[in-house]
Amino acid sequence: MSLHPNQVLLAPVVSEKSYSLITDRKYTFRVHEDAHKTQIRQAVEQLFEVEVQSVNIVKVQSKPKRRGATRGRRPGWKKAIVQLKAGHEIEIFEGATV
């Protein structure tokens, strides 16, 4: 499936763990369900003009939720942890402090 780089990367993941990984040049993104490692690598390199060293993908499982007697499930999603080569960084994350 051919996806445009803007469709591959949906949003950065905002959490304490993701911000602590920035010191190791690892950035976490929520990605499209059908995106694979090569597409994610190409999207990050095109959009942020950096060089990617490695890409790890994690499937976040859906969770059961309840509100009173009503039961349901939160949807699952896919995230990618992208490590950049030495000397490269993404400025969108740099203003954040943990």
Cα 63 to Cα 83: distance, rounded to the nearest angstrom: 28
What distance in Å separates the CA atoms of residue 43 and residue 6, rounded to the nearest whole number?
7
Q: What is the pLDDT of residues 25-37, one digit of tens each?
A: 999 999 999 999 9
59 assigned to some structural domain: yes
Is residue 92 included in any domain, yes or no?
Answer: no
45 pLDDT exceeds 90? yes
Domain containing 19: what range? 5-86
Q: Which amino acid is at 59?
A: K
Domain count for the chain: 1
Q: Is residue 96 part of a domain?
A: no
In a domain, 95, yes or no: no
Q: Which position has the higher pLDDT, 1 or 45?
A: 45
**CATH code (residue 28):** 3.30.70.330
In a domain, 93, yes or no: no
pTM of the model: 0.86
